Chain A
Amino acid sequence: MSDLATALVFWPAVAIMLVTGVYVFRTASMARAGLLLLASLGIEGLVFLALASEFLGVLQLLMMSGEMVIMVFFMVMFMPDPGGLMGMDMTHDKRRSASLAVAVGIGLAVVAVLTDWPARVVGRDAPDVRAIGFEVMGRSMLTFLFAAMTILFAMVGGVLLAKHGGRFAQIGAAGKGEA
């Protein structure tokens, strides 16, 4: 794509991403929030594609759809008001979380702007590709596995809590209400 075409895709897409991202926290329903987050992150995948970052773009589109659908699925299961009819507030601990978010955002933006990014195009057989492969499958693997297992335990724990006779069961009434 030409620079102009890329710019025509890039800036409106980034604008939609930000707007939907903000509305994730302004809606009262987890189903709506999940779908808005999917819109935001899915369009980010299209931005990657517009920037000719094929693999990242396709992977982003694939993974975000799955993950946001899982989020909607679990959140509707857990929330007392999944339809958002009672005006639930999606934000908590507002001042601290907002200042933390702004600080992290500025930090990342500074890194992105100040880093001296290499301008060369990396081909299929470049040593960089090999190095990334060894990094991901070698030293970083333990971190990934640890994160994956943590998420898995959290999901299993969440399902157990959401079960009938889970969180709100009376002591001694175990098994009551089980299908």
Chain B
Amino acid sequence: MSDLTPFVVLAVALVGAGCAALLEQVVSGLRVSPQAVLTSVSRTLRQPLRAPQVRDGWLYHLAPGLLLVAAVAALAFVPWAPGFRGIDLSTGAIGFAAALAYVTPAVFMAGWGAGRALTVLGAFRWLALMLAYAMPLAMVITAVAAPAGSLRPSDIVEVQHAVPMALVQPLALALWVPAALAVCFLAPFDVAHCDEELGGGVFSEYRGLDAALVALARRVLLVAVSGMTVVLFFSGWHGPLLPAAVWMVAKTAAVAAGMLWMGGRVPRMEIDRALELAWKVANPLALVAIVWAGLVTLLFYR
């Protein structure tokens, strides 16, 4: 790890967020135009900041920063090629989940700090949703790490050199996808910030730099979660002919496009239904996925 690592991660985050914005245009059938992205960014940045006149208004300006830090920290755990990653921990997969865990307090701070009824309602919807989907997410990571015998993301990639984990543990993938959509603020789980029900919800009060940081953090989050999905389930940088990093980027783009495509076409799930699905279906099935991971590991990976 060189001294330049933090800057490289930030560069990956900025470039990745830009590409994610272009990908959104592709998926929603618009003409691809970097100009439109830049125009919208500069228009947002020219807006004057808002300062909510409530007791906990200080949280309102803190939240976008924490959201971005959490997203960039999550991105730093994703390995893009052998040896090319921001943070190399032997517990990197858990570290990724730990970084994502700070999205939840950030969203709560955003909604609570804005001090409007609909922002607070959105914040509490988000808390309930994330508490419900945190356990499936953590258990799926554990299940996928079991065959590798290691929580280091690069080891998890190496163990999939022949067969991607999506084929070995399809149940884990089925549990991962809804949780990943939820943490990326995408439908059917966009209950915290939906325009139609809550008029923008938690993020509705943000203007100017605050709004730009929230938008950036959401794109970085999408890149980080798509990248980790590829690492955990689609054998990371492994692939024929092309160099490792090219495969990793291509697969990540494909997963991100898939998630955006789904997010644009699935109807929003009612919050009660989403919670019921998590507690009554996803959590018990996550236990089944762990048992399955143990069986597969003992039979084929020893």
**A residues within 8 Å of B by Cβ?**
29, 31-32, 35, 38, 42, 45, 54-55, 58-59, 61-62, 65-66, 68-70, 72-73, 76, 83-85
Contacts of B102 in A (CB 8 A): 42, 61, 65
User: How far is A72 from B130 in the complex, measured between Cα atoms in Å?
Assistant: 13
- Interface size of B by CB at 8 A reads 25
User: How far is A70 from B134 in the complex, measured between Cα atoms in Å?
Assistant: 12
Q: A58-B98, A69-B105, A83-B55 are in contact. List 16 more A-B contacts (CB 8 A).
A: A29-B55, A35-B59, A35-B109, A38-B105, A61-B95, A61-B101, A61-B102, A62-B101, A62-B138, A65-B98, A66-B101, A66-B134, A68-B105, A69-B130, A69-B131, A85-B55
- Taking the closest CB of chain B, its distance from the CB of A112, in whole angstroms, is 25
Between-chain CB contacts (< 8 Å), 16 pairs: A31-B56, A31-B112, A32-B56, A35-B109, A38-B105, A45-B98, A58-B95, A62-B97, A65-B101, A66-B131, A69-B108, A69-B127, A69-B131, A70-B131, A73-B124, A85-B55
Task: Identify which of A32, A55, A61, A69 gathers the most chain B CB atoms within 10 Å of its CB.
Answer: A69
B38 interface hit (Cβ, 8 Å): no
> Do B94 and A73 touch across chains, with their CB atoms under 8 A apart?
no
Contacts of B124 in A (CB 8 A): 73, 76
A54-B134 contact given A35-B109, A73-B128, CB 8 Å threshold: no
- Taking the closest CB of chain A, its distance from the CB of B139, in whole angstroms, is 13
Chain B interface secondary structure, helix, strand, loop or mixed? helix
B216-242 with Cβ < 8 A to chain A: none
Contacts of A45 in B (CB 8 A): 98
> Do A59 and B101 touch across chains, with their CB atoms under 8 A apart?
no
Contacts of B104 in A (CB 8 A): 65-66, 69
Contacts of B127 in A (CB 8 A): 69, 72-73
User: How far is A84 from B105 in the complex, measured between Cα atoms in Å?
Assistant: 18
- Taking the closest CB of chain B, its distance from the CB of A67, in whole angstroms, is 10
User: How far is A72 from B205 in the complex, measured between Cα atoms in Å?
Assistant: 22
CB < 8 Å: which of B56, B94, B105, B130 contacts A59?
A: B94
> Do B55 and A84 touch across chains, with their CB atoms under 8 A apart?
yes
